[in-house]
Structure 1
Amino acid sequence: MDPTPAKPVAGNPLSDTLVAAPVRWWRSWWRSLSPTRQDRFAALAPVAAVMMFLAAIVVAFWYLRVEEVEREQEALRRDVEYAQQRVRLRLLERQEQLMRVARDIANQEMNKGDFARRSEALITQYPELQSITWIDEQQRIRASHSAPTVHSEQLRIVGEKLRPGDTAKTFALVQDLQQPVYAQSPSVPGEPTPLLQLQVPLNSTGGFGGVVLGEYSVDSLLRYGTPTEVLARYAVTMLDGSGRLLAGTALPERAASNAWRWWRDRANEYEVPVSPVGSGLVLRAQAYRTSLGFVGNSLFWLVGTLSVMTAWLLLATWRHTRRRLRAQEALVAETNFRRAMENSVLTGMRALDLEGRITYVNAAFCQMTGWSESDLVGQLPPYSYWPSNEYDSLRLKLRDELSGKTIVGGFQVRVQRKNGSQFDARLYVSPLIDAHGQHTGWMSSMTDITEPNRIREQLSASHERFTIVLEALDASVSVAPLGSAELLFANKLYRQWFGSQTDGHLQLVAQAGVLPARHTDSMDDEDGLMGLPTDPLTSARSENAEIFLPELGKWLEVRSRYLSWVDGRLAQMVIATDITPRRLAQEQAARQAEHAQSISRLITMGEMASSVAHELNQPLTAISNYCSGMISRSQSGQLSQEMLLTALQKTAHQAQRAGQIIQRIRAFVKRSEPNRTLAQVADMVGEAVELADIELRRHNVRLTYRVAERLPPVMADTILIEQVLVNLMKNGAESIENSQRPGHQRSVDLSVLPREIDGQQVVEFTVQDTGKGLPPEVLDRLFEAFFTTKSEGMGMGLNLCRSIVESHHGRMRAENLYNGSDVIGCRFTFWLPLAAPVDATTLTTPRTIA
C-alpha cells in the first residue's frame, strides 16, 4: 500500500515547500523497502495507533489520580500541623504550671502539704498529667502525688532515691543546663507504657536545689490534646524517636507486593515532631482510604479491554500473514540447505531403482569417481566406475544388494576413477521408501577407505617392529593386571628366566617392595587398590629397586610402572635388568677404595716415621736412664726401697706413654672394614690432634683447635674421619714449611662448630694454615685422583679425603685466605650431618697446643 500525499495549500509557496518535502522523503523511504517489510509496517501501524490511544488514556487517569493524592496529602499535612500546635500549647501550659510550682518551692513559699494540694489539683484538672514529684539535689524524693491510673511499678516512693536509668541521666542534664528537659521514661518489656517526663530545675539563691518531675500520659495527651475532628478523620498515633508506638492505633500495614502498591500507600501518611519535646515524640496521622483509584474505575478497564482486544486481533492477523511467509521461506531454505548439505559431505551418495538403474548421485560421488552426474544417472550395470577385471564379483555383490541381503557393516569394493586410477571404498546400503510406504529402490553411501587401510597396514607393521624390539631387549619386560593372575605380556628374556606364568612377575614385584600385582581375598575392609599413585598414570614416576634372585644367581634392577591396558584395565609393567656385572664392579671398587685408604694411612705414617721415632725416643731414653740409675745406685748400696719404688713408677709411666703412642699408631694404620657408629666429635678430634701433633711439632708449627661443647654425636667411621683431619693438618704444616714462614706465623687452626647449611644441621670442620696457599690452576684440580703438587706425592690424599667425606653425606671445599692481594694461608672446610639437633646454647672452649 502507498500512502496518499497531502495536498499543499494553494497560493502559499512556503506552505507548499514545507508540505511537499516530507511527503517526498516519506515516499522515497517507503519505496526503498522490500514488500515483506512494507507488509510488516502496514500490519504494525494499526497496532501502534491502538497502543498510543491506550497510553493516552492511562496517562489521563494517572494525572487525575496524582491530583487527587496531592490534595489529600495537603489536607493531611494541614490537619496534622494544627493538631501538633494544639498538643504543643497544651504541653507549654503544663510546663508553665510546673515551673510556677518549682519557683514557689525554690522561694520556700511551698511546703510538702502545699505541694501535695497543688499537685492533686493539677492532676485532677488535667487528665494527661499523671504524676508530680519533688526531688532534692541528692536525687532523693521528698514528695510525690500520682493519679489513680498510674501503675504501681511507676509510683514514686518518698524517701527513696531515683532509680538508675534515663531519669537519673536527665536529672544530671537538668543540673548542668538549669533548664526544663523532656525525656521518655525507660521502657522495659512486660512493664506498663512509659510516660513522658518533664524535669524543671529548682533554682534557689544557693544554687541548684533539685527538680520538679512531671510525668504525662502520652495516650491522654493524644486524646485530650488532639482536636476531635482530626481524630475522627485520621488514625492519629504518637511515636518515640525510634518509631515505637506510644499511643493511638495505627492502620494495619498494607502489603506492598509491587512498586504500584507501594506508591499508592505512601501518599496517605504524614508525621511531625511535637515541640517542645523535639524528635523524641512524633505525631503521625494516617488517612483512611475512601477512593478506589483509577485502577478500580470501570471506564478505565472498559477502554483498556477494548484496546487490548483490538491490538490482539491486529497482531493475530499480522502473525498469520507472517506465518505463511515464513513457511514459504522455510521451504526455500530447506531446499537450499539440503542441496548444500549434499554438496558439502565427503560421503558419496548413490540411488538405484529396483532394476539397478542409477537415479541419483551427489557431488561427492562424482568427485570421488571423476564422472559427472549426467554420465552416471541412467546407467545400468556394468557401471563405468567398475574395474573391468572385477565385473563378476561386483555383479554378485549388486545382486545381493538388490535382493535385500545387506551387511550391517557394509562391504568393501574397488572403484575405478575416470582417469584409470583405483581406490578402496566401503558401501553401506539402505532401502528407499516413498511417501506411501512403497519400496522404490536402494540408497548407497560410499566412503573412500584407502587412507584408513594404509594407516592400518602401517600400524600393523609398527606393532610388528615394536614386538621385535621388545623381544630383542636385554631386559625382562612383563605386564600383569592388578588383582589377577593373568600375564598380559612377556618378552623373550622373561620367558627364558621365568617361563610363561606370572610367578616371576609377582616375585619381582614382591621382592622389589612395590605395590603387589595381585591381592588375596580377606575378611578385612582394606581396599585392594590402596597405595596406588594419586598422580595420573601417564605422569606417575617409576619405582626402582635392586634385588638378588638366588635361583638365577643374578642381581636385577627392577623398575615398576602403572599403565592402562588396551582393554581399560589397570596393569603393572615390570622391567628387570641384569646388573650382576655392575654390582661385582662396585664391590671390587669398594674393596680397592678401602685398600687405598689403608695405603694412604700407611704412607702418612711413613712420612711421619721420623717424628714418631723422635716421639718414642723420649720415653725410651727416660726408661733407660731410670734403669741405669737404679743399677748404679744398687751397686753402690745407696738404693732404698722408697727410691726404688719411685724410680719403678716413673719407668712404668714412660713405658705406658710409649705404648699409647704405638697403640694409637697401630689403630690408625690398621686395615678394617668401614664401621659407622654414633661417634663423639670431641673424641675424634682429640685422637686426630694427638696423631698430627707429632708431625706439627717436628715442623715447629703451633696447633690451635676449638671444639664446641655439648655437640650431638654424628654417624661416622672415626678412623676415616681422623684420617681426613690428620691429612689436612699435615698438609697445612708442610705448606707452612715450604713457605718458610717466621716462627710467629707458623700455626694451624682447627675449629669444629655447629652450622645450618641448606636447612640441615651439620658439624663443620675447618683446618686453616698460614702457608702460601694454592695457585688458581691447582684449586680447579685439587680433588682429582693422581693430581699432586708434591714431587714425591701420589695424588691420592685429598681425593681420598673428599671421597670419605662424601661417603658420609658431607661436602668438602678449599679456598685461599687473602690480606688485600697477598695470600696469607689456605682454609679447608668439610661438614658432616648430625645424628641429633644442636642445642641452641652450644658454647665453644678454645684449646691451644704449641
Structure 2
Amino acid sequence: MIPLPHPTQPNSPPSQVVWWKRWWRRLPPSRQDRFATLGPLLAVLLFLSAIVVAITYLRYEELEREQEAVTRDVEYAQQRLRLRLLERQEQLMRLAREVGNREIESEEFEFQVESLVSQFPEMLAISWVDARRNVLASYASPSAPTALVRPTGSVLSPGETDGSFDLARDLRQPIYSRPLGDDARNATLMLHVPLTEQGRFSGTIMGEYSIDGLMRFGVPPEIMARYAVALVDDRGRVLAGSLQTPTTVLRLLPWSNPPLEHEVPVSPVGNGLIVKAQGYRTSQDIVGSGFFWVIGALSALTVWMLLGTWRHTRRRVQAQQALVAETNFRRAMENSMLTGMRALDMQGRITYVNPAFCSMTGWTEGELVGRTAPFPYWPEEEHDQLAARLEDELRGRSTPGGFEVHVKRRDGSIFDARMYVSPLIDPKGHQTGWMTSMTDITEPKRIREELSASYERFTTVLESLDSAVSVAPLGSDEMLFANKMYRLWFGTRGQGHRHLVDLAGNQPSPSPDDGDAVDAFAGMPTETLTDAGAENAEVFVEELDRWLEVRTRYLTWVDGRLAQMVIASDITPRRYAEEQASRQAERAQTASRLITMGEMASSVAHELNQPLTAISNYCNGMISRVNEQRITTDELLGALEKTARQAQRAGQIIQRIRAFVKRSEPNPTQSDVAQMVSNAIELADIELRRQQVRLSPYVAARLPNLMVDPILIEQVLINLLKNAGEAIAQAGRAPGERYVELRVGPRRLDGVDVVEFSVRDSGNGVPNEMIERIYEAFYSTKSEGMGIGLKLCRSIVESHHGRMQVQNIYNGEEVVGCCFSFWIPVVSRLQNHSAAAGPATEPLTDTERAR
C-alpha cells in the first residue's frame, strides 16, 4: 500500500522519513534535546579519532626520517675517523720506508716523530722496534701515560702488543691492535707498520693512539652537537664520549619516542672499535603532542558547549523570571548611585529624591518630598542667593556646565557640591519638571588645591636646580619655560636654547616650505618624537668656558604645540677628572709592563746568558786556533757566522724587551694578529721555560688585521701567559701535565665578527668565591701579587671595545685548569678615532731601535 502524502506538505518524503518525523514529534522536548546532542557529539568523536590516526601516522613517518638521518651521520663520522687513521697510517708508512732504506738514523727519527706527535694530538707515542722486540728509538707525548714512555733499549713483551706485532711480522702489512688498557677511559690503540730490509722482516714502526683523542679530533663537531657519540669496543665498553641513559618516565608514556641510535665498526681497525651515536631525546615532540592536546581540548570544548547549549535550552522558561529580577536590579542600582538625584515640578516643589541625595544631606525622603523653597539643606546665610538661582533654574536659565553651591547637612556641617540641571520629559514629550544631579566635590576641590600647591613647589624646585632647563617650540626663538640657571647663563632669550640644540646636533630638519604650510614642521611624526627617549651629548660652550652635558627631549606643550626641552648640566669637573684618570691608566699600564719585566728579570738574564756564553766560547776557540795556526778560512767564516747569529739573537731579545717596556701614548693601528702573538710568545716563553711549562700555540690562518694598540694587546697576552705558568707551578703538576695552550681564532658573537684569544692552563683554577672579585683593583689570589695585572688587562680589552672572561675547566667535579679568554671586534670604533687623529707614525727602523 502506497502511503499518501501529508496534506500540509506537497512534496512529502518517503514513508520511512515520515515515520521518523512522527516518532520525533512524539518525543518530549527534553528527550528531543538529548537526541539532538548525540549527532554533534558523534561527529566530534569521529573527528578526534581521525586526528589521532593522522598524528600517529605522521609521527611514525618522522621517526623513520630521523633514524635515516642518524644512520647517515654516523656513517659520515666513521668515514672521517677512517680518513684520519689512514692519514696517520700513511705518515707512519712513509717513516717506515725511510727507516727501512736507512735514510734516517735514530736522532732524525726522534726529531720527525716529535714533530708528528706535537702536530697531531691523538698520537701519544711512536717507537722504532726491531725484529726481537727491542725499542731502538721512541718518543712519547708529554701528555701520554707513564706506561707509554719506553726508553731506548727496553723490550716489548707479547702482552703489550696483544699479538698485533706477530701479525704484522707474518702478514707484512700494517696491523691495528684491539683497544688496550684496563681503564676504558684511557684506552689506547696500537698500529704496527712492518719494516723490511732486503725482503727480510726487521721490525716495526709502532704508533700508539689515544682513543679519546680520535674521538675529539676525528668526529665532526656538528655530529657531536646533534648526537651522543661514543667509541666502544667489542665488549660494549665506552672508550670515549658518552651515551644517553633512557628516561624511565618517558618510556612509560604510550606516545613516547623509541631511542634513535646506530653503530658501525671503524675501518681499518675492525670490529674491535665501534662508533655509536644516539639521538638526544630530552623531551617529547612539543609540536606534535601540543597539536594533539589542542585538538583534544577543542573537541572537549565543543562537547562542553553542546552540553551547555542543551542545558541552556532547559532554562529558557526561567528567562521571564530573570526579566522581573532585572527590573528590580535596575531599581536597586538607581537607589545605590553615588550621585544625588532630585526632581522638581514646574512650581519648584520636590517630587523625587534618591537615596544618594538623602545620604548627602542627611534628610529622609519623606522629609524632602513635597517641600518648597527655602529647602532645609540651604545654609541660612545663602537663602537669597540660592532662591535667585532656583528661579533661574525654573525659567531654564541654568548654565550647561553646572554650578557650585554650598549644601548644609542635617548635622549643620557644610560641603561643596556641583549641580547639573536638565528638563524632565515624560513619554509623551511634555516637560513635567526639572531633574537635578548633585555631586560632592569637596574632595576633588581639595585635590585641585593641592595640585596647585604642588605646581608651585615643582616650579620652586626647577628654579633651584644646578642645571639649566629650557623649553621652546621647534624652529622658534620663543621661550616657553626657562629656570633660574638658564637665565643666569643665557639670559631670557631663546638663542641660548637654539645654540645648545645645534651643538648637541638634535635639531630635526623642517620640511621644505612650499608657501602654503603654516608650520615648517607640519606633518612630522610628533607621536614618535614625544615617545622617544632622551638624547644626551657632551659639548663645550666657549661663551661659558664650560663642558655641558645636554639632554634633549620632545614633548607636547600644554597648548598642543610640539616643543623641545633641553637640560644642560655642568660636567667640567667630571671631564677634568676623566682626563686625569686616563693619564693615570696610561701610567699604570706602563708600570705594569715594568713590573712584569722585573718579575721576568732572572729568566731574561738566563736567556741572554746563553747567546753571550756561546759568543764567548766561539771567540775563545777562534783565538786559540788562530794562535796555533790550525784553522782554515772556511772554518773561521763558519765560526764568525755562528757568533753573528748569537749576537743577533741577543739583540732581538733586548729590542723586544725595550719595545715592550717603552712608555708611549696608546696608538691604535691596523695590527697583524700573528705578529702580536709571536712577539708576546717570544717574551713569555722565556719565563715558561724557566718554570718547565710547555707552551702550545695555535693561531688560525688568514686572520683579519685588528685596529688595536699592539703593545697593549701583547701586554695582556704576556700577563695571562705568565699567570698561567705561575698557576701551574703553584699547583705542582707532573712534568707531563705542565702545559699552557694559547689559541687564537675567529668567532661570531651576537652578530659581530671578533677574534678570540684564549689561554688555558693545567693549574688548580680559580676558587668560585674569588671569580667575582678577581678583576677588582689590588685584589690578588697570589701571596706576592699586587692585584693590578688582571684589572689592567680587562681595562685594556674594554678600551678596545672587547670583553674578557674567566672560567674553570672541569673533569667531572674536579678542577683541572683555568681558561682566560678575551675577544676584540674586527670592525672597531677605534678606526674612526684613528682616522680623525691623522695618519699613523712610521714604524722605527732597526737602526733607530738600536739607538
TM-score using structure 1 length: 0.50
Q: Find the structure with the greater CA-based Rg.
A: 1
